[in-house]
Chains A and B, each alone.
Chain A
């Protein structure tokens, strides 16, 4: 007796039915597929919704943490500036007063006072630098464009890599959260250039195009791979992306091995702009 194989069930589908099927699949209206031997239960929509919900929660948490960090940094910067700054200034004044009171004959004492005074001056500068790194004062006073210029200038001084700033934004005023986020992204990108790129030139551009604000940091260094961009170890890039997403924006990296890296952040202008703008080249 031969054991016959069961014939495969081939459903007949007409064009109209196929269209209806595609429409139902596209609109997530299908929850089960009737197969030859099994019934497949689809919960794609639910899973997608849960995943998206979970992503939103993570993003909200990240944005909240960033905001808390910025607030803490601002507090520490203020404390450092006010407490240490004032104490050191008093110390400096005291040393100057002492130098005036000491008999000019007592050269060793005068020398000691002068060296202490130089030390206090160096400490004041360090305190100012720490406070600036924690919260760039110019960001509040002068705005995003000038802060970026200042950062590029400091980057150039620190690393020796020439860094230009290009912008078509005049006296536009940006919302504080947006300015801080964009500045921090640019700062992180420049840090990456200094640490990994082995570049000989860098450029920061902040341009307004239609309804988007585009921040670009590019270099002519060794480039970045896709693996590095998407690696869970690239904490800096993850932080930059989270900051961009918090502004409803996107962050992309382009470039290949040996051809430099271009980091681009695109943010809706309506999300960051608060004041009237005037465009200048």
Chain B
């Protein structure tokens, strides 16, 4: 029963639900700043604002980063909808990021 539920969650279509992101950055370094901007733009253009972004500055909160297995910044983690996705980098390659977040088909 539990296994079937997990299976259903795995293939659940995102539909109109809110996307919950956790973005790990380091201060105002160039890639971190770019990642912030790119994620905000992506939410605006592709999710019509249906997203919730929690930004974690690893200089202030390294424990959360370690807990989430974050090795480098910037790292974006899609918390919801399931399954969890991790994207590393400044999110400048929009197509790749959208494919990773299952917002478009992966054309690779």
Contacts and interface: CB of A to CB of B under 8 A. Distances in A.
Interface of A: 9, 11-13, 17, 20-21, 23-25, 27-34, 39, 41, 43, 45-46
A31 B32 contact: yes
B27 A29 contact: no
Contact of B86 (A20, A29, A39): A20
Contacts, number: 77
A30 B88 contact: yes
B72 interface: yes
Given A29-B88, A29-B92, A21 B72 contact: yes
Contact of B32 (A11, A17, A32): A32
B108 to A, nearest CB: 12
A25 B72 CA distance: 9
Interface string B59-83: 1001001100111111000000000
A31 B74 contact: yes
Given A21-B72, A46-B30, 12 more contacts: A13-B71, A17-B86, A21-B71, A24-B72, A25-B72, A28-B31, A29-B92, A31-B73, A32-B26, A32-B73, A33-B72, A34-B70
Contacts of A17: 86, 88
B54 interface: no
22 contacts: A9-B66, A11-B66, A11-B70, A12-B69, A21-B88, A23-B89, A24-B88, A28-B31, A29-B31, A29-B90, A29-B92, A30-B88, A31-B26, A31-B73, A32-B59, A32-B72, A33-B71, A34-B62, A34-B71, A34-B72, A34-B73, A39-B59
* Binding site secondary structure of chain A: mixed
Q: Which range holds the interface residue count of chain B? A: 20 to 34
B17 interface: no
Contact of A11 (B25, B59, B69): B69
B30 A30 contact: no
Contact of A30 (B27, B31, B69): B31
A24 B70 CA distance: 14
B65 to A, nearest CB: 5
B58 A32 contact: yes
Contacts of A13: 69, 71
Most buried by A among B24, B27, B72: B72
Contacts of B44: none
A67 to B, nearest CB: 36
Interface string B24-62: 111101111000000000000000000000000011001
B5 to A, nearest CB: 23
